[in-house]
Chain A
Amino acid sequence: QQPVQSPQAVILREGEDAVINCSSSKALYSVHWYRQKHGEAPVFLMILLKGGEQKGHEKISASFNKKKQQSSLYLTASQLSYSGTYFCGTGDPRSNTGNQFYFGTGTSLTVIP
Protein backbone atom coordinates (compact mmCIF):
# COMPACT_ATOMS: atom_id res chain seq x y z
CA GLN A 1 0.00 0.00 0.00
CA GLN A 2 3.03 2.22 -0.12
CA PRO A 3 2.55 4.83 -2.86
CA VAL A 4 4.84 4.37 -5.83
CA GLN A 5 6.74 7.38 -7.11
CA SER A 6 8.22 8.00 -10.53
CA PRO A 7 10.80 8.65 -11.65
CA GLN A 8 13.08 7.09 -9.06
CA ALA A 9 15.80 9.61 -9.84
CA VAL A 10 16.19 12.65 -12.04
CA ILE A 11 19.04 15.03 -12.84
CA LEU A 12 18.22 18.56 -13.95
CA ARG A 13 20.14 21.62 -14.94
CA GLU A 14 19.31 24.84 -13.15
CA GLY A 15 16.25 26.46 -14.64
CA GLU A 16 14.73 23.25 -15.98
CA ASP A 17 11.35 21.90 -14.92
CA ALA A 18 10.52 18.55 -13.37
CA VAL A 19 7.44 16.53 -12.57
CA ILE A 20 7.32 13.88 -9.86
CA ASN A 21 4.41 11.47 -9.79
CA CYS A 22 2.86 9.57 -6.90
CA SER A 23 0.43 6.70 -7.46
CA SER A 24 -1.56 4.82 -4.86
CA SER A 25 -3.36 1.49 -5.04
CA LYS A 26 -6.12 2.79 -2.77
CA ALA A 27 -8.27 5.89 -2.73
CA LEU A 28 -6.41 8.93 -1.53
CA TYR A 29 -7.83 11.05 1.25
CA SER A 30 -5.01 13.53 1.14
CA VAL A 31 -1.57 13.77 -0.39
CA HIS A 32 1.42 15.33 1.28
CA TRP A 33 4.76 16.24 -0.29
CA TYR A 34 8.03 16.44 1.63
CA ARG A 35 11.63 17.06 0.64
CA GLN A 36 14.57 15.57 2.47
CA LYS A 37 18.09 16.79 1.93
CA HIS A 38 20.97 14.45 2.64
CA GLY A 39 21.57 14.11 6.37
CA GLU A 40 18.55 16.21 7.27
CA ALA A 41 14.98 15.56 8.32
CA PRO A 42 12.10 15.74 5.81
CA VAL A 43 10.58 19.18 5.37
CA PHE A 44 6.94 19.82 4.49
CA LEU A 45 6.24 21.25 1.04
CA MET A 46 2.54 20.90 0.38
CA ILE A 47 -0.64 19.12 1.32
CA LEU A 48 -3.59 18.51 -0.99
CA LEU A 49 -6.85 17.56 0.67
CA LYS A 50 -9.68 15.62 -0.89
CA GLY A 51 -11.98 18.61 -0.70
CA GLY A 52 -9.67 20.49 -3.02
CA GLU A 53 -7.95 22.60 -0.41
CA GLN A 54 -4.21 23.05 -0.76
CA LYS A 55 -1.80 24.21 1.86
CA GLY A 56 1.80 24.92 1.03
CA HIS A 57 4.63 27.19 1.90
CA GLU A 58 6.84 27.23 -1.15
CA LYS A 59 6.58 28.18 -4.81
CA ILE A 60 5.92 24.60 -5.77
CA SER A 61 2.64 23.40 -7.22
CA ALA A 62 0.94 20.06 -7.22
CA SER A 63 -2.12 18.34 -8.57
CA PHE A 64 -4.35 15.68 -7.09
CA ASN A 65 -6.33 13.35 -9.32
CA LYS A 66 -8.70 11.51 -6.98
CA LYS A 67 -10.09 9.28 -9.70
CA LYS A 68 -6.69 8.07 -10.81
CA GLN A 69 -5.44 8.00 -7.25
CA GLN A 70 -2.47 10.06 -8.33
CA SER A 71 -0.70 13.23 -7.43
CA SER A 72 2.02 15.11 -9.27
CA LEU A 73 4.49 17.65 -7.95
CA TYR A 74 5.63 20.35 -10.36
CA LEU A 75 9.00 21.99 -9.90
CA THR A 76 9.52 24.88 -12.27
CA ALA A 77 12.70 26.80 -12.95
CA SER A 78 14.61 24.51 -10.64
CA GLN A 79 17.30 25.90 -8.36
CA LEU A 80 20.30 24.18 -6.79
CA SER A 81 18.46 24.27 -3.47
CA TYR A 82 15.77 21.97 -4.90
CA SER A 83 18.13 19.00 -4.76
CA GLY A 84 17.04 16.28 -2.39
CA THR A 85 14.74 13.31 -2.12
CA TYR A 86 11.06 14.00 -2.55
CA PHE A 87 8.45 11.89 -0.80
CA CYS A 88 4.73 11.87 -1.22
CA GLY A 89 2.69 10.71 1.73
CA THR A 90 -0.89 9.75 2.35
CA GLY A 91 -3.11 8.80 5.26
CA ASP A 92 -6.78 8.57 6.10
CA PRO A 93 -7.88 9.56 9.60
CA ARG A 94 -11.44 8.42 9.05
CA SER A 95 -10.75 4.68 9.32
CA ASN A 96 -12.23 3.19 12.47
CA THR A 97 -9.64 0.43 12.51
CA GLY A 98 -6.74 2.80 12.52
CA ASN A 99 -4.75 3.75 9.52
CA GLN A 100 -1.12 4.16 8.67
CA PHE A 101 0.48 7.18 7.14
CA TYR A 102 2.30 5.88 4.08
CA PHE A 103 5.27 7.60 2.53
CA GLY A 104 6.05 6.91 -1.09
CA THR A 105 9.13 5.20 -2.47
CA GLY A 106 10.95 8.52 -2.95
CA THR A 107 12.39 10.41 -5.91
CA SER A 108 15.98 11.61 -5.84
CA LEU A 109 16.32 14.95 -7.59
CA THR A 110 19.69 16.50 -8.35
CA VAL A 111 20.02 19.97 -9.81
CA ILE A 112 23.35 20.78 -11.40
CA PRO A 113 24.69 24.18 -12.50
Chain B
Amino acid sequence: SYELTQPPSVSVSPGQTARITCSGDALPKKYAYWYQQKSGQAPVLVIYEDNKRPSGIPERFSGSSSGTMATLTISGAQVEDEADYYCYSTDSSGNHRVFGGGTKLTVL
Protein backbone atom coordinates (compact mmCIF):
# COMPACT_ATOMS: atom_id res chain seq x y z
CA SER B 1 0.00 0.00 0.00
CA TYR B 2 1.02 3.59 -0.62
CA GLU B 3 2.97 5.43 2.07
CA LEU B 4 3.98 8.99 2.79
CA THR B 5 7.09 9.31 4.96
CA GLN B 6 7.70 12.17 7.38
CA PRO B 7 10.35 12.69 10.07
CA PRO B 8 8.88 11.97 13.52
CA SER B 9 10.07 15.24 15.00
CA VAL B 10 11.53 18.62 14.15
CA SER B 11 12.75 21.12 16.69
CA VAL B 12 13.59 24.80 16.19
CA SER B 13 14.04 27.91 18.30
CA PRO B 14 11.48 30.73 18.05
CA GLY B 15 12.14 32.83 14.96
CA GLN B 16 13.99 30.09 13.12
CA THR B 17 12.77 28.37 9.98
CA ALA B 18 11.23 24.94 10.38
CA ARG B 19 11.10 22.55 7.44
CA ILE B 20 9.06 19.37 7.46
CA THR B 21 9.45 16.95 4.61
CA CYS B 22 7.13 14.36 3.16
CA SER B 23 8.21 11.76 0.63
CA GLY B 24 6.03 9.61 -1.55
CA ASP B 25 6.35 7.95 -4.94
CA ALA B 26 3.18 9.55 -6.33
CA LEU B 27 4.02 13.11 -5.31
CA PRO B 28 5.43 14.01 -8.74
CA LYS B 29 1.88 13.55 -10.06
CA LYS B 30 -0.30 14.24 -7.02
CA TYR B 31 -0.66 17.33 -4.88
CA ALA B 32 0.42 17.41 -1.26
CA TYR B 33 -1.74 18.86 1.48
CA TRP B 34 -0.62 19.78 4.97
CA TYR B 35 -2.65 19.67 8.17
CA GLN B 36 -1.77 21.12 11.55
CA GLN B 37 -3.16 19.45 14.65
CA LYS B 38 -2.72 20.97 18.07
CA SER B 39 -3.19 18.86 21.16
CA GLY B 40 -6.82 17.88 21.71
CA GLN B 41 -8.07 19.69 18.62
CA ALA B 42 -9.28 18.76 15.18
CA PRO B 43 -6.81 19.18 12.31
CA VAL B 44 -6.59 22.42 10.35
CA LEU B 45 -5.59 22.70 6.69
CA VAL B 46 -2.53 24.96 6.35
CA ILE B 47 -1.38 24.21 2.78
CA TYR B 48 -3.28 22.79 -0.17
CA GLU B 49 -2.22 21.83 -3.69
CA ASP B 50 1.47 21.82 -2.74
CA ASN B 51 1.86 25.53 -2.11
CA LYS B 52 -1.45 27.35 -1.65
CA ARG B 53 -2.38 28.85 1.67
CA PRO B 54 -6.03 28.94 2.85
CA SER B 55 -7.40 32.23 4.02
CA GLY B 56 -6.58 32.88 7.64
CA ILE B 57 -3.34 30.91 7.62
CA PRO B 58 -0.32 33.12 8.43
CA GLU B 59 2.08 33.97 5.61
CA ARG B 60 4.93 32.27 7.46
CA PHE B 61 3.46 28.95 6.33
CA SER B 62 4.50 27.91 2.82
CA GLY B 63 4.74 24.72 0.84
CA SER B 64 6.74 23.37 -2.05
CA SER B 65 7.10 20.12 -3.92
CA SER B 66 9.83 18.72 -6.09
CA GLY B 67 10.00 15.20 -7.40
CA THR B 68 8.98 12.73 -4.74
CA MET B 69 9.27 15.18 -1.85
CA ALA B 70 6.96 17.87 -0.55
CA THR B 71 8.07 20.34 2.07
CA LEU B 72 6.20 22.47 4.57
CA THR B 73 8.19 25.52 5.62
CA ILE B 74 7.40 27.72 8.59
CA SER B 75 9.48 30.87 8.34
CA GLY B 76 10.04 32.49 11.70
CA ALA B 77 8.34 29.74 13.68
CA GLN B 78 6.47 30.86 16.76
CA VAL B 79 5.67 29.06 19.97
CA GLU B 80 2.03 28.79 18.93
CA ASP B 81 3.11 26.77 15.89
CA GLU B 82 3.98 23.83 18.12
CA ALA B 83 1.78 21.02 16.84
CA ASP B 84 1.72 17.80 14.90
CA TYR B 85 1.87 18.27 11.14
CA TYR B 86 0.58 15.74 8.65
CA CYS B 87 1.07 15.58 4.92
CA TYR B 88 -1.80 14.06 2.95
CA SER B 89 -2.21 12.95 -0.61
CA THR B 90 -3.52 10.19 -2.82
CA ASP B 91 -1.89 7.23 -4.45
CA SER B 92 -1.28 7.27 -8.20
CA SER B 93 -4.73 5.83 -8.92
CA GLY B 94 -6.45 8.54 -6.91
CA ASN B 95 -8.57 5.93 -5.16
CA HIS B 96 -6.74 5.85 -1.84
CA ARG B 97 -5.94 8.75 0.42
CA VAL B 98 -2.99 8.53 2.74
CA PHE B 99 -1.68 10.58 5.64
CA GLY B 100 1.97 10.71 6.48
CA GLY B 101 2.92 9.47 9.91
CA GLY B 102 3.02 13.00 11.28
CA THR B 103 5.82 15.26 12.49
CA LYS B 104 5.86 16.77 15.95
CA LEU B 105 7.15 20.32 15.72
CA THR B 106 8.70 21.72 18.88
CA VAL B 107 9.43 25.43 19.08
CA LEU B 108 11.49 26.34 22.14
Specify whether A and B are partners: no
Contacts from B to A (Cβ < 8 Å): none
